[in-house]
Amino acid sequence: MYSPAEDVKLGAKVKSQIEADTKDYPISKNQELTAYVQSLVDQIIQSKEIKYKNVFAYKAYVIQDDNTVNAFCVPGGYIFVYTGLMKYLDNEASLAAVIAHEIGHAEARHSSRRMTQGKALEALAGLADKKNKNVTKSADAAINLLLLNNSRDDEYEADELSVKYLKSSKWYAGAMKYFFAKLTCTEKSEGGTLRKLFATHPFTKDRVDKVNEELKKLNIEPPREANLFYKEYQNTKVKLLN
Ligand SMILES: [Zn+2]
């Protein structure tokens, strides 16, 4: 069984491998864009519900790929957000909600808890040899090993944690719903673009119901324009994503 500190060690290795794999994971060099996403992460982890604030890295990276609507977090709090996701979303609250969901996977230690010692060693072996000609393959293999098996229950829990983390923030805590609503509309027409997302985050309609239950339980008031940051986000997109 992995300790949280070991999550960070494993995550740091996977993170380096992702950075080295510039073909599949072109990390944006736009410092302003990265600083913007980091600022969302920094605000989310102010929540008292965050357990590993002083243990995990909680560092944000932007992947310059407009065709992928996704985000992921490797153990230890290394968060990767695709420009495709940022462009797809309509308000800042829903971007914060998706990032909070990813932080939820890290905090609940979904992938590292599931990983047996053997599998972890296998993942690390794939990452260890920098001279390996199949660097790209090993990065992908390790990431798949870590991320591709989020279960439905993991998704429910990460959604619930997203609401909890955003409760004390400036954003509407239920903003994950805007993302779901949009997915439901585009699911059929743009299956290709969303394939990666559904592979790492199984989407089912009842996730919306579960988020609604959580909002009720925590007495979250309906959203207002002021806590969705719709206009601000349109400006942010124009400024940072063109
Ligand atoms: Zn997820």
- Express the helix, strand and coil content of the chain in percent, nearest 5 each: 60, 5, 35
Residue 142: what pLDDT? 65
Would you state the structure tokens that stand for residue 14, as one six-digit string?
């996977």
Would you state the structure tokens that stand for residue 100, as one six-digit string?
């909070």
The SS3 call for residue 44 is helix
Which residues partner with 61 through β-bridges? 80
Whether 69 contacts 193, CB under 8 Å = yes
Q: How far is the CA of 165 from the centre of ligand 1 (A)?
A: 15
Q: How far is the CA of 132 from the centre of ligand 1 (A)?
A: 31
Separation of alpha carbons 76 and 66, rounded Å: 26
Q: How far is the CA of 203 from the centre of ligand 1 (A)?
A: 9
Whether 87 contacts 241, CB under 8 Å = yes
Structure pTM?
0.89
Q: How far is the CA of 147 from the centre of ligand 1 (A)?
A: 9
Question: For the chain, what is the largest distance between any 2 Cα atoms, rounded to a whole number of angstroms?
Answer: 54
Locus of tokens 């790492």? 200
Q: How far is CA 88 from CA 2, 92, 132, 162, 181, in A?
A: 35, 11, 36, 19, 12
Query: pLDDT tens, 20-78?
Result: 889 889 999 999 999 999 999 999 999 999 999 999 999 999 999 999 888 999 899 99
Q: How far is the CA of 117 from the centre of ligand 1 (A)?
A: 23
One-character DSSP codes across 43-59:
HHTTSTT-S-TTTS--E
Residue 119: what pLDDT? 64
Query: pLDDT tens, 132-176?
Result: 555 445 566 666 666 656 788 888 999 999 999 999 999 999 999
Q: How far is the CA of 150 from the centre of ligand 1 (A)?
A: 7
Would you state the structure tokens that stand for residue 107, as one six-digit string?
């905090």
Q: How far is the CA of 131 from the centre of ligand 1 (A)?
A: 32
